[in-house]
């Protein structure tokens, strides 16, 4: 029987190529931060990375099954590392490559993407409780970098195609295979966290990339949860996953266009809300941050148009408008629901 | 009855029109084999494979603007089937396979569909 891809968006050879790379990045995850730095700065490590990419492509094209493909990529790359280690190298580079060589065979998982996704989905489902939709993971490839003009290290993106089912949703991880390197792998947990916190359980109409609520306030919230989840997800990947989530955040919030603007506006609204809860409800900063995240999650499952939620975000400023402050105060003291808060603060007619 | 022509217009993605057309033709060729993946997909989409054997596609780039990424991609399907079946051929058979081969971003957002013929 011909080897298959578990994902409809990937040809079998493309899947095996990604699987081999992801397996090695997963195995060497405690060293991914250093790997990224060396790829940027050191020619020997750049060559080692290119060798891995080339070797993975060649093995993936051979129509072997998943395990055999990964075995051959690992053994071939190990041989290439041995050759490189036989050269005169700077001590720190030699030590680093020796560590990679030692680590690369351990912790094999059948699908590193699914492992990350299952962990994120489990944690997100606990936040949303009965409002959670059961998500499935798809992986697809891209023909070019998702932000071609910036050419950053994060050649990955994710989406939750609309419309989700009442009880389920599909999250699609999209990878530009030619640039799938350690930094991109380390950013995958945050990308999937964004999808699971912001879009999987959302009860509004189709999320728009220019929505300050869906892509901004909720994205800020996803980072709040991520900060608490990252070690639970994988303590060995945590330092790289945290570092690259922060770097990705910078890339995405600084991006030109409506999506970058939505993120900036939504993040700013979140900061205003946090400051308001600190000031008016006398909450310590960490608690106020959690309060904003709780509010965003509750608003996400309120059955109101996205335009109402975006309008709410646009009303949040400093000083807080009295009608918004009053609604926030009542919500915080459990006098009204998030739904009532939204309707009162925005004053918009019900759909 | 003359063959029906259905066109779909998209914003440009990562793939050129010529490449999309090449892949679309390969997929249509597969319909000659009843055991092929394309034939299976057509069957699952409720399409009659034999009615699609003469189907043709033409993928072209629209008027060039100052920005090449604003150039639309126009996908035309000519087939002896109704418009609903032609749309299903694109959505359930051709596009999923083109997407898998060329990438999820091979073409951009769909513009308002136009029909004639």
* Cβ pairs bridging A and B (under 8 Å): 32
For an interface test with A, give the residue of B19, B99, B104, B107 to mutate (most A CBs within 10 A): B104
* pLDDT at residue B116 tops 50: no
pLDDT level of residue B93 (50, 70, 90 thresholds): very high
Q: What percent of chain B has pLDDT over 70?
A: 87
Residues A168-189 have pLDDT tens digits of 899 999 999 999 999 999 999 9
Q: What global pTM score does this model have?
A: 0.93
Residue B75 pairs with which residues in a beta bridge?
B8, B59
Contacts of A172 in chain B (CB under 8 A): 104
Residues A165-179, buried b or exposed e (16+ Cβ, 10 A)? Answer: eeeebbbbbbbbbeb
Is B68's pLDDT higher than 70? no
Q: Is A141 on the interface with B (CB under 8 A)?
A: yes
Task: Determine contact: B99 vs chain A, CB below 8 A.
Answer: yes
Average pLDDT for chain A: 94
Q: Are A128 and A201 in contact (CB under 8 A)?
A: yes
- CA dihedral A15→A144→A264→A245, nearest 10 degrees, is 40
Per-residue model confidence (pLDDT) at position A204? 66
Q: How far apart are CA A165 and CA B26, in angstroms?
A: 33
CB contact under 8 A, A11 and B105: no
The β-bridge relationship of strands A134-141 and A168-175 is parallel
CB-CB neighbors (< 8 A) of A6 in chain B: none
For residue B69, the chain A residues in CB contact (below 8 A) are none
Which pLDDT does position B112 carry in this prediction? 64
pLDDT at position A349 = 74
Q: Which pLDDT score, from 0 to 100, does residue A2 have?
A: 67
Q: Which residues of A touch B13 (CB under 8 A)?
A: 143
- CB-based contact B78:B55 (threshold 8 Å): yes
Contact between chains at B104 and A144 (C-beta distance less than 8 A):
no
Sole residue written with tokens 């990224």: A36
Q: What is the Cα–Cα distance from A335 to A285, expressed in whole angstroms?
A: 23
Distance from first CA to last CA of chain B, Å, rounded?
10
- Both tokens of A29, joined, read 């995850």
* Candidates A7, A9, A141, A161, partner chain B, best to mutate (most B CBs within 10 A): A141
Residues 27-66 of A with CB under 8 A from B: none
Only one residue has tokens 């603060």, namely A345
Give tens-digit pLDDT for A59-99: 999 989 999 999 999 999 999 999 999 999 999 999 999 99
Tokens of B52: 């699609």
**A294-336 confidence digits (pLDDT tens):** 999 999 999 999 999 999 999 999 999 999 999 999 999 999 9
Confidence of residue B115 (pLDDT cuts 50, 70, 90): very low
Q: Which region holds residue B86: left if phi is over 0, alpha if psi is between -120 and 50, else beta?
A: alpha
Distance from CA of B99 to the nearest CA of A (A): 7
Partner residue opposite A144 with nearest CB, options B99, B101, B105: B105
| B39 and B97 Cβ atoms separated by less than 8 Å | no
CB contact under 8 Å between B99 and A140, yes or no, is yes
Cβ separation B15–A174 shorter than 8 A? no
Burial of A202 (0-12, 13-18, 19+ CB in 10 A): buried
- Contact: A140, B14; criterion CB under 8 Å: no
Residue B24: which pLDDT band, with cuts at 50, 70 and 90? very high
Q: CA A218 to CA A213: how far, in whole Å? A: 6
Q: Is the pLDDT of residue B114 over 60?
A: no
Can you read off the two tokens belonging to residue A330?
């009542």
The sign one gets for the Cα dihedral A32, A38, A40, A45 is negative
Contact B103 A11 (CB under 8 A): no
Residue A57 CA from chain centroid, whole number: 25
Q: List pLDDT tens digits, range A118-132.
A: 999 999 999 999 999
**Residue A142 has what DSSP assignment?**
-
**Contact in structure between B73 and B17 (CB atoms under 8 Å):** yes
Interface predicted TM-score (ipTM) = 0.87
Chain A hits for B15, Cβ within 8 Å: 143
Q: Is A251 exposed, middle or buried (0-12, 13-18, 19+ CB in 10 A)?
A: middle
Chain A residue numbers with beta carbons less than 8 Å from the beta carbon of B36 are: none
Using a CB–CB cutoff of 8 Å, tell me whether B19 touches chain A.
no
Q: Is B55 within 8 Å of B28 (Cβ atoms)?
A: yes
Query: A247-287, pLDDT tens digit by residue?
Result: 999 999 998 889 999 999 999 999 999 999 999 999 999 99
In angstroms, rounded to a whole number, what is the distance separating the alpha carbons of residues A125 and A122?
A: 5
Residue A141 has its nearest CB partner, among B13, B96, B103, at: B103
Instruction: Specify the 3-state DSSP secondary structure of A294.
Output: helix
Measured CA to CA in angstroms, residue A260 lies from A192, A215, A254, B23 at distances of: 18, 9, 6, 34
**d(CA B109, nearest CA chain A) in Å:** 13
Q: CA A117, CA A169: separation in Å to the nearest integer? A: 13
Average pLDDT of span A24-51: 96
- The three-state secondary structure class of A301 is coil
> In chain B, what residues touch A141 (CB-CB under 8 Å)?
103-104
Mean pLDDT estimate for chain B: 88
Indicate the residue of B100, B102, B106 with minimum beta-carbon distance to A10: B100
Q: pLDDT by residue (tens digit) across A183-230?
A: 999 999 999 999 999 999 998 667 678 999 999 999 999 999 999 999
Pairing of strands B4-12, B114-116: antiparallel
Look at residue B113 and tell me whether its pLDDT is greater than 70.
no
Q: Cα separation of A220 and A238, whole Å?
A: 19
Across the interface, whether the CB atoms of B104 and A142 are under 8 A apart is answered yes
Please report the pLDDT score of residue A205 as a whole number. Answer: 67
CA A48 remoteness from chain centre? 27
Whether residue A10 lies within 8 A of chain B, CB to CB, comes out as yes
SS3 content of chain B, % helix, strand, coil (to 5): 40, 25, 35
Which residue among B14, B15, B104 sits closest to A140, beta carbon to beta carbon?
B104
Which helix (H) or strand (E) segment holds residue B114: the answer is strand B114-116
């Amino acid at each position: 029987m011909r080897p298959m891809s578990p994902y409809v968006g990937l040809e079998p050879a493309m899947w095996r190529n990604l699987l081999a790379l992801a397996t090695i990045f997963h195995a060497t995850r405690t060293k991914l931060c250093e790997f990224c730095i060396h790829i940027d700065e050191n020619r020997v490590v750049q060559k080692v990375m290119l060798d891995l990419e080339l070797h993975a492509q060649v093995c993936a094209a051979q129509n072997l099954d998943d395990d055999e493909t990964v075995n051959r990529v690992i053994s071939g790359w190990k041989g290439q590392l041995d050759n490189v280690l036989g050269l005169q190298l700077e001590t720190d580079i030699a030590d680093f490559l020796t560590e990679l060589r030692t680590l690369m065979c351990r912790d094999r998982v059948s699908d590193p993407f699914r492992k990350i996704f299952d962990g994120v989905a489990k944690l997100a489902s606990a936040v949303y409780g009965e409002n959670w939709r059961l998500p499935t993971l798809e992986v697809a490839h891209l023909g070019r970098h998702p932000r071609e003009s910036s050419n950053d290290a994060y050649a990955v993106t994710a989406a939750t195609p609309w419309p989700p089912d009442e009880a389920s949703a599909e999250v699609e991880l999209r990878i530009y295979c030619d640039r799938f390197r350690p930094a991109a792998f380390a950013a995958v947990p945050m990308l999937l966290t964004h999808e699971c916190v912001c879009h999987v359980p959302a009860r509004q109409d189709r999320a728009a990339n220019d929505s300050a609520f869906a892509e901004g306030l909720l994205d800020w919230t996803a980072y709040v949860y991520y900060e608490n989840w990252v070690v639970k997800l994988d303590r060995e990947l945590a330092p790289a996953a945290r570092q690259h989530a922060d770097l990705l955040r910078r890339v995405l919030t600084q991006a030109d266009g409506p999506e970058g603007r939505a993120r900036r506006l939504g993040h700013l609204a979140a900061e205003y809300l946090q400051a308001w809860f600190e000031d008016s409800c006398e909450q310590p900063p960490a608690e106020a941050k959690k309060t904003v995240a709780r509010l965003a999650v509750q608003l996400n499952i309120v059955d109101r148009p996205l335009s109402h939620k975006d309008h709410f975000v646009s009303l949040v400023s400093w000083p807080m408008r009295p009608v918004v402050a009053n609604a926030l105060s009542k919500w915080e003291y459990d006098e009204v629901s998030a739904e009532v808060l939204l309707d009162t603060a925005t004053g918009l007619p019900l759909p | 009855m003359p063959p029906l022509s259905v066109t779909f217009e998209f914003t440009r993605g990562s793939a050129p029109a010529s490449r999309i057309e090449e892949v679309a033709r390969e997929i249509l060729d597969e319909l000659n084999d009843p055991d092929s993946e394309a034939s299976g997909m057509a069957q699952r989409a409720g399409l009659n494979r034999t009615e699609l054997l003469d189907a043709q596609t033409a993928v072209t780039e629209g008027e060039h603007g100052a920005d090449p990424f604003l150039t639309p991609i126009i996908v035309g399907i000519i087939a002896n089937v109704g418009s609903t079946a032609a749309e299903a051929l694109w959505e359930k058979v051709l596009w999923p396979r083109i997407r898998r081969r060329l990438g999820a971003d091979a073409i951009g957002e769909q513009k308002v569909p136009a029909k004639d013929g």
